[in-house]
Amino acid sequence: MSAHPVVETRGLGKRYGSRWALRDCSLEIPAGSVTALIGPNGAGKTTLLHMLIGLSRPSAGEVRILGRSPREQPALVLPRVGFVAQEHPLYRSFTLAELLEAGRRLNPRWDAELATSRVTRLGIPLSQKVGRLSGGQQAQVALTLALGKRPDLLVLDEPVASLDPLARREFLQGLMEAVAGEGLTVVLSSHIVAELERVCDHLVILASGGVQLAGPIDEILGAHRLLTGTRRDPGAVARIDSVIRASHTERQTMLLVRAERPIADPSWQVDEVGLEELVLAYLEQQAGHAAPEVGRLELAS
């Protein structure tokens, strides 16, 4: 596994007219990681993903995939990146067999056996028209198309958004198998946090067109704590880097803080924070344009 990040962006931004949909995005995504790109709808997740794979031209900044620019050297980047767009577009009038054949003809590095055995194992008939398959099956087919070219990086835009729980589970099972088997790097976007926690080991929180937080999930959870104690001013707490969320009642103060060093103050009850709560806190902060400084954790890995 190469030590170089598979995805690198610096100051990446996209503008539509006078409105910046995405601004100043700087990320590094390490090889072999499964990264969740989380954010509310309209935060710029799709915009960012499209710039990663060269479907969209950045208005500012630069992006490197496997060391290359996807816009300037698409012939070198495309064969190594698999992509499933939102709503997994497919040629619905094709039979599954024909669609896999299309994959073979459009990709020099196509592994026909891998693709065919995958759909067979999933019980999807090769002679069926793709448009007649269920939503879950279509999502699996889209994933198969992306995996069939043996990519180094897989980018998925809301892959499980429209799937029922069973289909969602099966999709993630298949995805994890592929990661285990091929050493794939995965970036997937979602606006639902809960199911991603088991699957992802890295996180990027995108809100209001900017990166709010990025890094390995273990480190992030280790660096945030929930403090509960008697009512007091958040500014008075020592040894923390920033307060992400503060809530007060008459007698009690609860702070979600980012702190690199352990908090030894006995007047606080210190608890770990769950991923979902953490993400929500960061998103609330953006939504309310609250004052506390945002911890822009640049990810080290």
Partner 1 sequence: MIWVTWRQQRTETLIAALLLGLVVALLVPTGLHIASVYDSEGIAACVAKPSLDCGGQLDQFVSRWDSLVNAVGWLNLVPALIGSLVAMPLVLEFERGTFRLAWTQSVTRDRWLAIRIALIVGTCVAAAALLTGLMTWWRGPLDDVNGRFDGFDFEGLVPFAYTLFAAALVVALGVVLRRSAAAVGLAFVTFIALRVGIATWARPHYLAPLHETSTTGPAGLALRDAWVFTERGDLRTAAGTPVDPLAVRGCLTDPGAKRLDNACLDRHGIVETLTATYQPGSRFWLFQAIEAGMFAALTLALLAFAVWWIRKRIS
Partner 2 sequence: MVSGMIEFRLSARSGVPTYLQLVQQVRQAVRLGMLQPGDQLPTVKTVVGSLAINPNTVLKAYRELDREGLVEARPGQGTFVSRALPPTPPGDYARLQSALLDWIRRARDAGLDEDDVAALVAATLQAVAAREAA
Please, which of residues 124-153 interact with partner 1 by CB under 8 A? 145, 149
Segment contacting partner 2 (CB under 8 A): 52-60, 149-157, 196-204, 260-268? 196-204
What would the x/- binding string for partner 1 be over residues 148 to 177, using CB under 8 A? -x----------------------------
Q: Which does 270 bind (CB under 5 to 8 A by kind): partner 1, partner 2, none?
A: none
Question: Of 74, 229, 234, 274, which lies in the binding site for partner 1, with binding defined by CB under 8 A?
Answer: 74
> Does residue 112 interact with partner 1 by CB under 8 A?
no
> Does residue 57 interact with partner 1 by CB under 8 A?
yes
Q: Which residues of 272-300 are buried (b: 16+ CB within 10 A; e: fewer)?
A: ebebeebbebbbebbeeeeebebbebebe
Query: Which residue lies nearer to partner 2 by CB, 125 or 274?
Result: 274
Q: Which does 180 bind (CB under 5 to 8 A by kind): partner 1, partner 2, none?
A: partner 2
Least CB distance to partner 1 at residue 231 (A): 53
> Does residue 3 interact with partner 2 by CB under 8 A?
no
> Does residue 200 interact with partner 2 by CB under 8 A?
yes
Binding site for partner 1 (CB under 8 A): 53-57, 74-75, 78-79, 81-83, 85, 87, 89-94, 98, 101-103, 105-109, 145, 149
Binding site for partner 2 (CB under 8 A): 34, 169, 172-177, 179-181, 198-201
